[in-house]
């Protein structure tokens, strides 16, 4: 807290122990730091002019200028269906080369909350620039009577895009349940968070869902008794995650290296991960630098024990910041025998 009277916060980046305490070879130039496990590059310009594969690089407060290229990628005309119910806002990345970016989204407005439920599909390139969109208005039912709409469709078809990675934002509120996504794109990975929706009014019973991720830190939450279930990692010999209480967050650490499948018994489940998620192993790819699981440490000025977190843009992206634990160490002047005497004698009162 920078100013008590004004309740003004002095925001500072948290210390990154993985960087500051690293024993790797270190290069510094104009505020940019390059750490190498095995010294390969003599300078930061050498690294930037001939970088290694993106999947072998981790970044912190920096962007890689070299665009991601998926080697040996060839376009396809075969349709692939993501047959999983997703609720509300989601975003994913896909890859395009010599083909039209092509998606068909089948969705229902479940009308469980008051108000209009328009949807927007926004496509951006690797630089974050919009290259196309599709929009649809509400189904006409503004009530919260839980009357599902007919199946509706929204389509994206964007030709003549340069080769590269594109992000698609599925912008909607929680009344929208995306039922299927049909595409000819070979690679599709979802980012950060999933909300596996229930299938009331769509399927006669809930279906299990399996997804693949390289993420090692996952958490699961359900808001309803109907969403209680067990989540397993079929490749691990560790215990499953038993979700036995609504509104409680259950954490899971993946013990296997690489991409692993995670199996749920049903939907109605919110999933957070530090990796990418694909609903088919063949659709998985990793277009981003390695994500660091950060442990941070900060020494506060005396008297400034009140603090806040700032995460610009988090609402727009539908993401969350998970704080696993906060440890506070309090320090005071050593307590002496004179202090004890003064306290007993009452001279310090």
Query: Same structural domain for residues 87 and 165?
Result: yes
Q: Confirm whether 193 is domain-assigned.
A: no
Q: Confirm whether 318 is domain-assigned.
A: yes
What count of other Cβ atoms lies within 10 Å of the Cβ of residue 118?
14
Q: Confirm whether 242 is domain-assigned.
A: yes
- Predicted local confidence at residue 295, as pLDDT: 55
Instruction: Tell me the C-alpha to C-alpha distance, in Å, between residue 38 and each of 23, 191, 298.
Output: 11, 30, 29
Q: Confirm whether 279 is domain-assigned.
A: yes
Query: Same structural domain for residues 92 and 130?
Result: yes
- Predicted local confidence at residue 229, as pLDDT: 96
Write out residues in the chain with pLDDT < 70, as ranges: 1-18, 237, 290-320, 322, 324, 347-349
- Predicted local confidence at residue 11, as pLDDT: 61
The token pair at 123 is: 């496509």
Query: Same structural domain for residues 167 and 96?
Result: yes
The token pair at 349 is: 């009162």
Final residue in a domain of this structure, among 128, 155, 186: 186
Full domain range(s) for residue 92 = 69-186
For the CA atoms of 331, 332, 333, 336, the dihedral, rounded to the nearest 10 degrees, stands at -110
- Predicted local confidence at residue 346, as pLDDT: 72
Q: Confirm whether 86 is domain-assigned.
A: yes
Query: Same structural domain for residues 207 and 178?
Result: no
Query: Same structural domain for residues 141 and 105?
Result: yes
- Predicted local confidence at residue 124, as pLDDT: 97
- Calculate the CA 96 to chain-centre distance: 22
Give residues with Cβ within 8 angstroms of 212, minimum separation 6: 259, 260, 261, 262, 277, 278, 279, 280, 281, 284
CATH, residue 135: 2.60.120.380
Query: Same structural domain for residues 279 and 304?
Result: no
Query: Same structural domain for residues 308 and 280?
Result: no
Q: Confirm whether 196 is domain-assigned.
A: no
- Predicted local confidence at residue 90, as pLDDT: 96
Number of domains in the chain: 3
Query: Same structural domain for residues 102 and 151?
Result: yes
Final residue in a domain of this structure, among 151, 186, 221: 186
CATH, residue 262: 2.60.120
Final residue in a domain of this structure, among 135, 161, 186: 186
Query: Same structural domain for residues 75 and 150?
Result: yes
Query: Same structural domain for residues 76 and 153?
Result: yes
Q: Confirm whether 264 is domain-assigned.
A: yes
- Predicted local confidence at residue 58, as pLDDT: 80
- Asked if residue 272 lies in contact with residue 314, where contact means CB atoms within 8 angstroms, the answer is no
Tell me how far apart the alpha carbons of residues 119 and 327 are, in angstroms, rounded to a whole number: 42
Query: Same structural domain for residues 168 and 60?
Result: no
Q: Confirm whether 148 is domain-assigned.
A: yes
Query: Same structural domain for residues 261 and 224?
Result: yes
Bin 160: left if φ > 0, else alpha if -120 < ψ < 50, else beta. left
């Amino acid at each position: 807290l920078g100013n008590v009277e004004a309740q003004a916060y002095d925001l500072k980046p948290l210390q990154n122990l993985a960087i500051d305490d690293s024993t790797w070879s270190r290069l510094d130039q104009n505020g940019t730091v390059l750490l190498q496990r095995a010294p390969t590059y003599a300078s930061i310009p050498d690294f930037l002019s001939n970088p290694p594969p993106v999947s072998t690089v981790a970044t912190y407060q920096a962007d890689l200028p070299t665009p991601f290229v998926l080697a040996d990628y060839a376009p396809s005309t075969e349709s692939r269906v993501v047959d999983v119910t997703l609720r509300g806002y989601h975003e994913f990345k896909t890859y395009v080369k010599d083909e039209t970016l092509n998606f068909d989204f089948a969705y229902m407005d479940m009308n469980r909350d008051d108000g209009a439920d328009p949807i927007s599909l926004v496509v951006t390139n690797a630089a974050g620039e919009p290259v196309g969109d599709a929009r649809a208005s509400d189904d006409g039912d503004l009530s919260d009577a839980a009357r599902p709409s007919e199946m509706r469709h929204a389509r994206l078809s964007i030709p003549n895009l340069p080769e590269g990675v594109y992000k698609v934002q599925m912008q909607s509120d929680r009344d929208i349940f995306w039922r299927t996504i049909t595409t000819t794109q070979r690679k599709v990975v979802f980012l950060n968070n999933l909300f596996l929706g229930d299938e009331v009014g769509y399927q006669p019973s809930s279906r299990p869902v399996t997804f693949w991720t390289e993420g090692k830190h996952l958490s699961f939450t359900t808001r309803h008794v109907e969403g209680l279930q067990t989540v397993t990692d079929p490749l691990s010999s560790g215990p499953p995650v038993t979700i036995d209480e609504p509104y409680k967050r259950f954490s899971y650490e993946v013990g296997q290296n690489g991409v692993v499948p995670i199996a749920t018994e049903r939907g109605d489940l919110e999933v957070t991960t530090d990796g990418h998620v694909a609903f088919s192993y063949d659709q998985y790819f990793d277009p981003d630098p390695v994500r660091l699981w950060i442990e941070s440490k900060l020494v506060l000025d005396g008297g400034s024990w009140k603090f806040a977190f700032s995460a610009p843009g988090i609402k727009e992206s539908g993401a969350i910041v998970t704080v696993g634990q906060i440890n506070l160490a309090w320090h005071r002047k050593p307590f002496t025998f004179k202090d004890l005497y003064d306290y007993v004698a009452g001279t310090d009162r």
